[in-house]
Amino acid sequence: MSRKERGGTLRVALAQVSTWIGDVESNKAKHIRYIEMAERDGADLVVFPELSLTGYLLRDVAYEVSGACREALEEIKEACRNIYAVVGVVYEVRRGIVCNAAAVLGDGEVKCVVPKFYLPTYGLFEEARYFMPGNPHTDLRVVNSRFGPFGTLICEDLWHPEPAEALVRLGAEFVVCIASSPLRGLNAPVEGRPWIDHAWSSLINATALTNSVHVIFVNRAGPEDEEFFWGGSRVVGPSGVELARCRSMEEDFKVCDIDLSENARARRFSSFRVHLREFHEILSKI
């Protein structure tokens, strides 16, 4: 069914996959299979998790896979002539300087590569040891696709309110967040789900509500080294209501139709149009 036949709604495919660490070739083949599956289901956009081409716990391997990622994107973009995709990659911005990034592909080309802004370096996370953070002045991007403008963030970026708000105020009608969130709080569940699911639900719902925007969250699922990624990918509408959700703890693939006109309706009953820059001036001096 075409977008015209669906009344102009956006159809998004959530590709909640598990990938092999450092094996870009195998991961690339899996991406192409899922892109083809999403296209058969009539999707306009398919979204993969953070670092989906490489695996997450790379450590020093991060410096060795950027070339393979660039070559893989050249092949993947050929599968994206009639569909858009968001893919997690390691991207070399200068010789020996790499970013944890999201590549946006569509119309048979790489539209942009957006680096992660906030690099978690606490607990098991050590991203700042290997990656360079994005610069909001130069790297914040809104992609003007044929189905509407959107922006992409990566995992920790959504734990801070400014990146999503900036994207929406720049014109994004929906925000894509790709993640590799490991399982946490299994022994301290909230309403029958691990604490980390509760935490992400709070963040995603608040982002959607405060910005009157759709949020597409795609998280990794499955094991890697000593960690396990819990999945739970979902779509949340501008009223904070969950529209679709993938299974937890395993790979999954789900298609969801999104009516972007709901954003305008939600903004009639919110303070989205009000932005007091003075708070940011104060914060910048603290």
Distances (CA, A) of 269 to 23, 151, 174, 239: 48, 23, 18, 10
Active site residue 50: yes
Q: Is residue 7 pLDDT above 80, yes or no?
A: no
Give per-residue pLDDT as tens, 163-201: 999 999 999 999 999 999 999 999 999 999 999 999 999
What's the pLDDT score for residue 280?
A: 87
Q: What is the pLDDT of residue 1?
A: 62
Q: Is 127 labeled as catalytic in the residue annotation?
A: no
Number of domains in the chain: 1
pLDDT tens-place string over residues 22-41: 999 999 999 999 999 999 99
pLDDT band at 6 (very low <50, low <70, confident <90, very high): low
| pLDDT tens string 214-263 | 999 999 999 999 999 999 999 999 999 999 999 999 999 999 999 999 99
Among residues of the chain, what percentage have pLDDT more than 90? Answer: 93
| DSSP H helices in 41-176 | 66-76, 136-139, 161-169
Helix, strand, coil % in the chain, rounded to nearest 5: 30, 30, 40
**What is the pLDDT, as a whole number, of residue 8?**
73
Residue 137 lies in a domain: yes
pLDDT digits (tens, 9 = 90+) for 41-63: 999 999 999 999 999 999 999 99
Strand order in 142-145's β-sheet?
142-145, 148-154, 174-179, 214-219, 234-236, 242-245
Quote the mean pLDDT of the chain: 96
Residue 4 has pLDDT above 60, yes or no: no
pLDDT at 146 over 90: yes
Q: Is residue 3 part of a domain?
A: no
Whether 104 maps to a domain, the answer reads yes
User: Whole-prediction pTM value?
Assistant: 0.97
% of the chain surpassing 70 pLDDT: 98
Task: For residue 81, tell me if it sits in a domain.
Answer: yes
For the segment 130-157, the average pLDDT, to the nearest whole number, is 98
The residue from 39, 50, 224, 262 that is catalytic is: 50
The answer to whether residue 47 is domain-embedded is yes
- Of 30, 111, 116, 254, the catalytic one is 116
Helix (H, G, I), strand (E, B) or coil at 96: coil
Predicted confidence (pLDDT) at residue 212 exceeds the cutoff of 60: yes
Which residue range forms the structural domain that includes residue 153? 10-285
Secondary structure (3-state) at 237: coil
Per-residue pLDDT tens over the stretch 246-260: 999 999 999 999 999
Tell whether the model's pLDDT for residue 155 goes beyond 60. yes
9 pLDDT higher than 70: yes
Q: What is the CATH number of the domain that holds 99?
A: 3.60.110.10
Is 1 contained in some domain?
A: no
Could you say which of 80, 155, 246, 256 is catalytic? 155
- Assess if residue 5 is contained within a domain: no
155 classed as catalytic:
yes
In this structure, the number of other CB atoms found within 10 A of the CB of residue 277 comes to 7
Q: Is residue 55 part of a domain?
A: yes
Task: Tell me the average pLDDT across 84-110.
Answer: 98
- Tell me how far CA of residue 187 lies from CA of 142, 167, 193, 196, 275, in angstroms: 39, 36, 10, 11, 40
